[in-house]
Structure 1
Amino acid sequence: MATITAAREILRGLHDVMASKTPAQAKLNAVVGIVADALTSEVCSIYLLRDGALELYATKGLAQSAVHVTRLALGQGLVGTIAATREPLNLAEARAHPDFAYRPETGEEDYHSFAGVPIIRREGAIGVLGVQHADPREYAEVEIEALQTVAMVLSELLAGAGLVDDVAAAKARAQISGPVRLTGLKLVDGFGRGVATLHQPRVVIEHTVADDTEAERRRVYGAFEKMREQIDRMMGQAEFTGGGEHDEILETYKAFAYDEGWSRRINEAIDTGLTAEAAIERVQQRTRAKMRAIPDPYLRERLADLDDLSNRLIRIVAGQLGTAAQSGLRADIILLARNLGPAELLEYDRRFLKGVVLEEGSLTAHVTIVARAMGVPVLGRVRDFRTAINDGDELLLDVGSAALFVRPTTTMVKSFTAMSALRAKRQAGYAKLRDLPAETKDGKRIALLMNAGLQGDADALRLTNADGIGLFRTEFQFLVAATLPRRERQTALYKAVLDAAGDKPVIFRTVDIGGDKAVPYMREETGEEENPAMGWRALRLALDRDGLMKVQARALLDAGAGRTLNVMFPMISEPWEFDAAKALIEEQRAWLVKRGRPLPTVINYGAMLEVPALADALDVLLPKVDFLSIGTNDLTQFLFAADRANPRLADRYDWLSPSVLRFLRRIVRACEAEDVPVTICGEMGGRPLEALALLALGIERLSITPAAVLPIKAMVRSTTLEPLRAAMTGWLDAPGSDVRALLSAAADEAGVVLG
């Protein structure tokens, strides 16, 4: 109740100030006095963004002669840091902070403690509210929250007084012209063309201080009821009633909407004297601040879902449509947003939505999964697009090239149209290969399998006629769930995938979570690691927390009853880890035998070679396994000690370098000696030239993305393999060979189709 009391005391005084007819400067002078008295601080100051700098606009406690004189650049000093980061600061000793900048004209040398919060409007900082105290002390959390509440009210006051310095930014945006190429992160592949349409989910809150608290509470109750009805209706849409991970995502999203803790916090904010809209926004500001401080990437991504719900609730309370989805689309659009929740995306008419561009976004974000289910291309991490794009600009989206073309020239449009047509023609040509075998000209049959991770991915087996699923990533179900997936739900997924595959093989990789694939229900155990890719993840985690793996083992055994079950263990470093993992599954099989439960007719066990150390233990491992898969993505980054997620290193190390190819040749020869099938799993096998190199090494099984299956089949069917194998041996034995150049020339001369 301390938070409510502190904020209510301040808001009561601010209500009278805002209702008065005095000039804006006088109002701000009164505000700093009210806040200083309520928090028993010797100093309270307001800095406003004016002409690109933060100007001291009102103060109680600092020298009045410094008002309108002291100015700080964004990022300069404590005030500038708060405005730049949009994060509060709470310091017992201000001078100890590395960003402290002393301003002698203010007379602030007598004050030690400092706390400040940003004043936010339209998601940007327009000023800073700060307090100072002579004695060194940290301000209590209730005091910081009171300051943030005051900052929200100040935003309204400043906008009403015309003191918001966003005129220059608006002029700059209006003057944007000429073609621009922006880049980002590939989230959902595809092409799209349409006019730029800003999602604009936020309602600008014009009234923050309530006249009637109970009336505001009734408005919130009504809005919650209406919002929940909307979400229930959206979840019943036909295209999302067939099951799959997107269904689980929406269930988790729905759980957020029905969270009683959220509604309770909003009611507490109303008790302080805020309007319904301001209370919702205030609670969400606190949530954003806490979420941004969490190192767990999964939990940070859930912030988009919470933002979506808060924005939806505010729009309902305010009686505003607020988003482009509700304005009645009549033309093809490319949607632009900082981020989206899954429900916000579902509001758009699929006939007109040709693509999505996000400032944020990630491969495991809920909106990405739902977009994939809808078939909407998505490009994420497109930084600062608001400074480069006007609403209504023509856009060309090519996610495959990670590019967005803004205001394209006629030549760019023609090129884009030609690329789209060429892609369509290629796809049509590839489609003719669907029912033909992946066999080289000299009669070598190559197994082309596909990678999958979603239940819906199994449909690609029918579309591509791949030879099976060489890698089913089971962890995705763990990543999108708020809690550990129940055994029954895991069983249902694995059984559905096996049913879709029919008589074609499916290789299930046991769960690979931890490290950079954080899950919320193990956050305290996994923590934050300096090198997550090489940390406590995959089989290491599963063996330490064997309860998790026992549940998955039971689910796999139940799903595979009456048929062949193929199980593969990831991230094996030494043979004993394979032994331990296999023993765990065999223990569960024995448990089921005692109870007379149906079992798989055959269980094949395999290992993934991703850790280079395992290559030196193949003589021990290979006699124990039924098959081996090489994970080229992780293996390559470990070989080169190069993070594959680091853009500075992305193109630095070549898959066709002799060091990689010699390493792979060594593994292939060891497997051939033990008659153990070896498969490549990873992006390397999905690129025609790299795949050709793998065939030349003696690899005859590739597990690749569904989109690569038919292009790789075209390459295989145009290749005469034996001459290339002989050439590859010579290239790798000769020092200093440029294998990429030599292989490209040989493929060109032989007429190999490389796309």
Structure 2
Amino acid sequence: MTLSCCGLGVATTRAIAIGPVFMLDRNPLRIAPRSIDPATVPGELQRLEDALAAAQGALRTVRDQIPHATPVKVAEFIDSHLLMLEDAALVDPARALIRERLFSAEWALEQHRMTLVKAFEDIEDPYLRGRRDDLDHVVQHILGFLLGERIPDSEEDTDLNGCVVIAHDISPADTVVLRQRRVAALVTEYGSPLSHTAILARSLNLPMVVGVRKVTSYFRPGETVVVDDESGVVLADVDADILAHYRQRIRVLDERRAHLRRLVREPSLSADGTPVSLLGNLELPEDTVAIRANGAAGVGLYRTEFLYMNRDRPPDEEEHLAAYLEVIRGLEGTPVTIRTLDLGADKQVDGDSATCPLACNPALGLRAIRLCLKQPELFRPQLRAILRASAFGPVRLMIPMLSHIRELDAVLALIEQVGRELDREGLAFDPHMPVGGMIEVPAAALSAPAFTHRLDFLSIGTNDLIQYTLAIDRMDDTVSYLYDPLHPAILRLIRMTIEAGRAHGIPVSMCGEMAGTPRYVPLLLGLGLREFSMQPGSLLEIKERVRGSHIPHLERATGELFAHLDDHEPEQFAQAIERICS
């Protein structure tokens, strides 16, 4: 058995594909500094306008070619790039550089892009940081027309059916076109699993591995490769035994998917008949399609930060309301939990850095509910929109990053005040809309009993809870190995929160990555968790584990684990956890 090449990247769809390589030449355009004569400024500005119009036209052509039978709203991904092209914040600074510093149009646009990229790189949240890819795609699109170097569609007459497309990067528009041409998989050198391209690939059930460094130098056009999108591996020069192994795995995966699809309409009950609520996390309004397709009982976390990105001013009340109503109507009566703004010193509203300067330690700075209380002019439009949306369906409001009771009291007072305003204006809302809080910092978990007296529900955000409890930046490769969801301190905080909710008769959910990991389901059920919220693609696997679990047995085993939590050596503790999770 021989292997001459193995590329390692980040998986996006949990699938496997085999096919010949097609190299898609989408090298980033290199822009050299160039100054212009003052007399040519009007002409340079017109060049920029012409390139902008041509880029918009090209994207509209792709959007209009999307088949009407496409089962997901893929056009909205193209529309998001069109909106960026229409956003003055993208091009106006480039126009100013042309006028004031006599930069060429392409150099002005590239300089502004680099400024925006630096802002994105300072963002901690991986989903929001992934929007940097969209910026690059849009700018490269304009630059191609500016330089007259639009990549010709040389592959237009090439049969791509079953091919594995390898490129430096792939835009959402490229993804739509390649899916129509029935490619088997995508592999890129750059990109994030939370980029719009990766999200779109998942929506289209198209295997994709991103972040394979130097991928275009590893593989040769036409050679057969294996794309293992379960583990993020791309293999080349594989022998017959390896190909046979992966073809068998494809058959097994296909059978497993068919089995899981049969669970969509089955009740979410444990083997002993205990109901367990399975909800979906929502990144963008178009994700409602996946949530419904996987049988979620509703939305346990609707992240609203996308509304604030790629713009020079925050969204107004009506824009908020329109986004929320799209989700409410798309889910046809199932509950929607809307998390209020979770931006801050590390995840700034574009154009708002003057009022929210970068902190020395952004993760501990002015962010989430702290920022909202500091800047009520930012917070009020969202509160008004969420309350108004509650008149159209079952809406819950969720407050991120609580740590003090006084923060919660301030938010509740503001909600009450906004409700009185809406009453005076004759605008409908649900006066009994449930309000909950996220347990993301140790202080909140330790204060959970106090929070339960004021809130209608709690939701454990394990990603941040683990990070803050263990003092680990999970995005820092030098310490990420210490990121441990099963650390005894984490389990204690989770159990403490669940028991506080149970003692005061309010539901407790979990919306972090831990909730969408099948291995942890028995342990979490044993700890008392009865509401899980996760990425839609994980729902059926979690349901399968729930339906195979006997909760009274798991509660006994977990109780025994906690009774001797301090007595276990690390190896004994790991063995006890494994017995529960197996």
Letter in 1 for 2:139: L
Larger Rg: 1
| Contact 1:359–1:380 under 8 Å retained in 2 | yes
Determine the structure 1 residue equivalent to 2:547.
717
Q: 1:558 to 1:509 in 2, by over 3 A?
A: same
Structure 2 counterparts to residues 131-530 of structure 1, below 5 A: 178-187=3-12, 190-201=15-26, 226-238=54-66, 244=76, 247-255=79-87, 259=91, 262=94, 282-283=107-108, 286-287=111-112, 290=115, 296=122, 301=133, 302-314=135-147, 317=148, 321-322=151-152, 326=156, 328-348=158-178, 350-363=180-193, 365-372=195-202, 374-479=204-309, 481=311, 483-530=313-360
Q: Is this contact kept in 2: 1:450–1:703, CA < 8 A? A: yes
Distance 1:268 1:503, change over 3 A: closer
SS in structure 2 of the partner of residue 401 of structure 1: coil
State whether residues 329 and 352 of structure 1, in contact with CA within 8 Å, keep that contact through their aligned partners in structure 2. no
**What is the CA distance between 1:511 and its match in structure 2?**
1.5
Q: Residue by residue, what CA displacement relative to the aligned partner does 1:291-339 show, whole Å, maximum 9, x if unpaired?
A: 565554558542342123202443xx35x64455546443333333333
The amino acid that maps onto 2:258 is A
- Give the secondary structure class of the aligned counterpart of 1:181: strand
- What's the C-alpha RMSD, in Å, of the aligned pairs? 3.6
Between the aligned partners of 1:334 and 1:527, the Cα distance in structure 2 is 44
CA gap 1:640/1:260 in 2 versus in 1, 3 angstroms: closer
CA distance in 2, matches of 1:718, 1:675: 27
From the superposition, tell whether residues 483 and 187 of structure 1 become closer, same or farther in structure 2 (CA, over 3 Å).
Answer: farther
Question: In 2, Cα distance between the equivalents of 1:223 and 1:661?
Answer: 55
Q: Deviations over 1:671-724 (max 9, x none)?
A: 222112111111112222211101111111111221222112111222222122
User: Counterparts of 1:587 and 1:632 in 2: how far apart (Å)?
Assistant: 31
Describe the SS at the equivalent of 1:400: coil
Q: Separation in 2 of the partners of 1:681 and 1:630?
A: 6
- Could you give the per-residue CA deviations for residues 442-491 of structure 1, whole angstroms, max 9, x where no partner exists? 22211112211211222233322222211111222323556422322221
Quote how far apart the aligned CAs of 1:364 are.
5.4
User: How far 1:236 sits from its partner (Å)?
Assistant: 3.4
Q: State whether structure 2 residue 474 is matched by structure 1 residue 677.
A: no
**Alignment pair present for 1:590 and 2:423:** no
- RCO (CA 8 Å, sep 6+): is it higher in 1 or 2? 2
C-alpha distance in structure 1 between counterparts of 2:557 and 2:90, whole Å = 64
Tell me the secondary structure at the aligned position of residue 603 of structure 1.
coil
1:82 maps to what in 2?
none
- Please give the TM-score of this superposition, normalised by the length of structure 2: 0.84
CA distance in 1, matches of 2:88, 2:64: 18
Displacement after TM superposition at 1:404 (Å)? 2.1
Q: Within 5 Å, give how 1:710-749 maps onto structure 2.
A: 710-734=540-564, 735-736=567-568, 738-745=572-579, 748=582
1:539 has 2:374 as partner: no
Moved more, 575-584 or 518-527: 518-527
In the superposition, the TM-score normalised over structure 1's length comes to: 0.66
Q: Distance in 2 between the 1:368 and 1:574 partners? A: 37
On the 8 A contact 1:608/1:630 being kept in 2, the answer is yes
How many residues align? The count is 558
Paired AA for residue 666 in structure 1: M
1:694-705 matches, cutoff 5 A: 694-705=524-535
Distance 1:690 1:586 in 2: 38
CA contact (8 A) 1:250 1:342 kept: no
Q: C-alpha distance in 2, partners of 1:500/1:555? A: 17
- Distance in 1, matches of 2:365 and 2:193, equals 21
| Superposed displacement of residue 372, structure 1 | 4.7
The residue type equivalent to 1:236 in the other structure is: D
Using the alignment, how far apart are the partners of 1:452 and 1:225 within structure 2?
32
CA distance in 1, matches of 2:73, 2:176: 13
Displacement after TM superposition at 1:221 (Å)? 7.8
Aligned to 2:464: 634
Gaps of 5+ in 2: 124-128
CA–CA separation in structure 2 for the residues paired with 1:365 and 1:606: 29
Alignment-derived partner of residue 663 in structure 1: 493
Cα deviation, residue 290, structure 1: 4.8
Q: Which moved more, 1:633-642 or 1:291-300?
A: 291-300
Q: Which residue identity does 1:233 align to in structure 2?
A: T
Amino acid at match of 1:538: A
Which range moves more in the overlay, 675-684 or 250-259?
A: 250-259
Inter-partner Cα distance in structure 2 for 1:241 and 1:463: 13
The 1:582–1:287 alpha-carbon spacing in structure 2 relative to 1, beyond 3 Å, is same
Name the structure where strand makes up a greater proportion of residues: 1
Deviation at 1:566, TM superposition (A): 0.8
Do the aligned residues in 1 keep the contact of 2:56 with 2:82 (CA within 8 Å)? no
Q: 1:608 aligns with which of 419, 424, 438?
A: 438
**Alpha-carbon distance in 1 for matches of 2:380, 2:247:** 52
- Aligned-partner Cα distance in 1 for 2:186–2:312: 25
C-alpha change, 1:616 and 1:257, in structure 2 (3 Å) is closer
Quote the Cα distance in structure 2 between the aligned partners of 1:552 and 1:508. Answer: 10
Deviation at 1:251, TM superposition (A): 1.4
2-structure distance, mates of 1:598, 1:614: 33
1:342/1:366 contact within 8 Å kept: yes
Name the counterpart of 1:45: none
Secondary structure class of the residue paired with 2:434:
strand
Partner SS for 1:492 = helix
CA distance 1:406–1:484, shift in 2 (3 Å): farther
User: Does the Cα contact within 8 Å between 2:63 and 2:75 map onto a contact in 1?
Assistant: no
The CA distance in 1 between the partners of 2:93 and 2:56, in whole Å, is 15
Q: CA deviation at 1:356?
A: 2.9
